[in-house]
Amino acid sequence: MTAEIVRYSVLMPVYNEEQTLETIVKKVRYMDNLRLEITPVTEAETQEVILQQEIIAVDDGSADGSLAILRRLEAEGMLKAFAHEKNQGKGAAIRTAIQHAAGDILLIQDADLEYDPREYPVLLQPILEGRAQVVYGSRFLGGPRKAMLFRHMLGNKFLTFLTNLLYDSIISDMETCYKVFRREVLAGVPLHARRFELEPEITAKILKRGYRIYEVPISYNGREYEEGKNITWRDGIPAIWTLIKYRFVD
């Protein structure tokens, strides 16, 4: 049995992450050359797939040592690094990463340690088996997790509820970082978001194009504000506006 080779790109936005950057990159590199047994949805036989990885890291104008770390890891052959001269936001960093990604499948990976790369097999399998073109890892489907704050849970549930209401879906976690796409899905989608509105923008536009989002449970290890957590209720307002706007325009 010869194994099929599939290439996937890990898109990593980086802004002032010198504390966690090298560790997360190493964790991601362990997921290179993954051998997975899959059973395509239309077939009875099991097949073997080898997942070859590239990491596309984009430094978003960090003020700390993140870019120097990326350059060193790039010299060691661990990743490809790109840099924004000025800080533009997570959305802009991911859009830059998409432009440089060569894989058949694109997977978003934050550079903090809230999400665990050991879950890549679970995230990739539905796409490899032809059950989905878009997979989201959900923090609300019973996976192990450090409890998030009640107000963060409410914010997440509200934005997800609004997504479902406006785009006729039943996903459980719109704001998850773990979003995985076949590259064709994103090829035809214009993206404008610069900051955290990229999550609602991508979600709105793929739902509007008729893709069904396939969700799998993932774990979550949310960081504390002392550890660099940034998100606040203020980030919810552009998300609400983004969800409403793209219901009517593209």
Ligand X SMILES: Nc1nc2c(ncn2[C@@H]2O[C@H](COP(=O)(O)OP(=O)(O)OP(=O)(O)O)[C@@H](O)[C@H]2O)c(=O)[nH]1
Contact footprint for ligand X (CB under 6 A): 13-15, 17, 60, 87, 89-90, 93, 110-112, 114, 223, 229-231
The smaller minimum CB distance to Mg ion, of residues 112 and 201, is found at 112
Length of the chain: 250
d(C-alpha 83, C-alpha 7), whole Å = 23
Q: Point out which span in 69-77, 104-112, 195-203, 207-215 binds Mg ion (CB under 5 A).
A: 104-112
Q: Point out which span in 46-54, 62-70, 107-115, 135-143 binds Mg ion (CB under 5 A).
A: 107-115
C-beta of residue 178 within 8 angstroms of C-beta of residue 219: no
Q: Least distance to ligand X from the beta carbon of 21, Å?
A: 9
| Partner from Mg ion, ligand X, none contacting 215, C-beta within 5 to 8 A by type | none
| Residue 5 CA to its chain's centroid (Å) | 22
Scanning the structure block, which residue is given the tokens 């793929």? 206
- Other CB atoms within 10 Å distance of the CB of residue 238: 17
Name which position in 17, 59, 60, 112 contacts Mg ion (CB under 5 A): 112
- List the one residue out of 104, 119, 108 whose CA is nearest residue 57: 108
Q: Least distance to ligand X from the beta carbon of 2, Å?
A: 37
The smaller minimum CB distance to ligand X, of residues 14 and 134, is found at 14
d(C-alpha 208, C-alpha 188), whole Å = 12
The smaller minimum CB distance to Mg ion, of residues 108 and 123, is found at 108
- Beta strands (DSSP E) in the chain are 4-14, 34-38, 47-60, 80-84, 105-108, 134-138, 179-182, 214-217
| Partner from ligand X, Mg ion, none contacting 17, C-beta within 5 to 8 A by type | ligand X
The smaller minimum CB distance to ligand X, of residues 133 and 156, is found at 156
Q: State both tokens at 119.
A: 């879950």
The smaller minimum CB distance to ligand X, of residues 6 and 79, is found at 79
- Residue span 56-95 as binding mask against Mg ion, x where in contact by CB under 5 A, dash where not: ----------------------------------------
C-beta of residue 23 within 8 angstroms of C-beta of residue 70: no
d(C-alpha 31, C-alpha 52), whole Å = 9
Q: Least distance to ligand X from the beta carbon of 37, Å?
A: 31
The smaller minimum CB distance to ligand X, of residues 78 and 111, is found at 111
Q: State both tokens at 158.
A: 């509200």
Which residues here bind Mg ion, judged by CB under 5 A? 110, 112, 114
